[in-house]
Amino acid sequence: MSEISSIVDFLEAGIKAEGLRQRAITNNVANLQTPGYRRVDVRFEQLLANALDSNGAADLDEIEPDVYQPRQTPVKSNGNDVSLETEVGEMVKNTLRHRAYVGLLKKNYQQIETAINVR
Amino acid sequence: MEVSSSFGPIDIAVSGMQAQNKQIGAISSNVANAQSTDNGDGSPYRRLEAIFRAVGDEIDGVTVDEIAADMSEFPRILKPGHPDADDQGYVSMPNVDLPIEMINLTVATRAYQANVAVMKRYQRMVESTLELLR
Amino acid sequence: MINLNANITSSLPKIDAESFRASKLAPRGLGESGGVKVDFENAVKAAGKYLSGVSDLQQSSNASIMDLLAGKNTDITSVVAAAAKADMSFKLLVGVRNQLIEAYKQTMNMQI
């Protein structure tokens, strides 16, 4: 049972991180023309992977998705490094990940429901 | 980038869109400067072209290395009163051919749309995979 | 990419054919005394074996979900396939369990 509840918790944390990333992407698109603006991204997967490596079963309380500036994309003449194409691509990826997480979460709940339903 | 990643095709489509974006940028510069007889250093504007290069040996998308100048000859037209005219009254014009630029613009736009189509189709593909979870 | 095999038996835990055949509540058992009892026991045992297979699939599905969340495996197709496989085998297990209970009830209510 602890197995099921933990995977549900992890999926919930993942969905939360995707929500934050969506906000970051929206912010990037809004600042498409802002001089000197550097695009922001959310770090979550890496933090979770690090937490998993150290003790196998990660403690979700320790993992807080954090917003950072990757500073990897080429900077335009106005000091801004947002590319609309990159943001759209990131958004598509984020949406698909979000849908996958929600689907997996739904499947988990459905399974519990099936197990409960004694006819 | 691994090939097995579910998001590889999206990154590749984005790289294609960005490359076509640069190409369209070069074309718009060419069209805007089709009559610029002085580049600032006395010679007329040289036509620019984005040079595409595949990233790595594997499936990794495309990049634009450089925006290269077209080194073909400048056409000369007779315009004796022009401040940039030479002794015979001829002016060197930019080596920009507007019809060719318009064709290139169509090609670049269509290529951009093709990349968008790939991304959309791939998105639908992954979504159909996610239908398995319904 | 994952091999999406349409053959459903390949994606479900294996039960050895012998115990499965023995588990069938065949009419032949009715003639011999105690035949039904033995076969029913085998069926329950086979379901028990199947249960551990389902559990394995469930665990590997959870492991692949964790890999997806941690960004170690970005291939959604394989994760979804693992989850669908585990779900299907679980549903089959529940179905088999329901059938077994039904068979047991019918047997118990039999007029002698």
pLDDT, one tens digit per residue, over C29-75 is: 444 444 455 577 787 788 888 888 888 888 888 888 888 888 888 88
Q: Enter the ipTM.
A: 0.79
pLDDT digits (tens, 9 = 90+) for A31-73: 988 888 889 999 888 888 877 765 556 667 777 888 888 888 7
**Is B110 or B132 the better-scoring residue by pLDDT?**
B110
Q: What pLDDT sits at residue C73?
A: 80
Task: Answer yes or no: do C76 and B2 touch at CB < 8 A.
Answer: no
How far apart are alpha carbons A38 and B21 in whole angstroms? 20
Confidence of residue B119 (pLDDT cuts 50, 70, 90): very high
C-beta of residue B3 within 8 angstroms of C-beta of residue B69: no
Whole-prediction pTM value? Answer: 0.78
Report d(CA A105, CA A7) in Å as an integer.
Answer: 8
CB-CB neighbors (< 8 A) of B132 in chain C: 80-81, 83-84
Chain C CB contacts of B133 below 8 Å: 80, 83-84
The pLDDT, as a whole number, for residue C2 is: 45
Q: Which residues of B touch C74 (CB under 8 A)?
A: 2, 4-7
What does the alpha-carbon distance between residue A16 and residue A27 come to, in Å, rounded to a whole number? 17
Q: Which residues of C42-71 are buried (b: 16+ CB within 10 A; e: fewer)?
A: bbeebbeebbeebbebbeebbebbbbbbbe
Record: contact A92-B10, CB cut-off 8 A: yes
Number of CB pairs, chain A paired with chain C, less than 8 A apart: 48
User: What share of chain B in percent tops pLDDT 90?
Assistant: 41
pLDDT one-digit tens code per residue, B33-48: 888 888 888 788 888 9
Calculate the average pLDDT of chain A. Answer: 84
- Residue A88's pLDDT is 93
Confidence of residue B4 (pLDDT cuts 50, 70, 90): low
Mutation target for B interface from A93, A98, A109, A111: give the one with most B CBs within 10 A.
A93
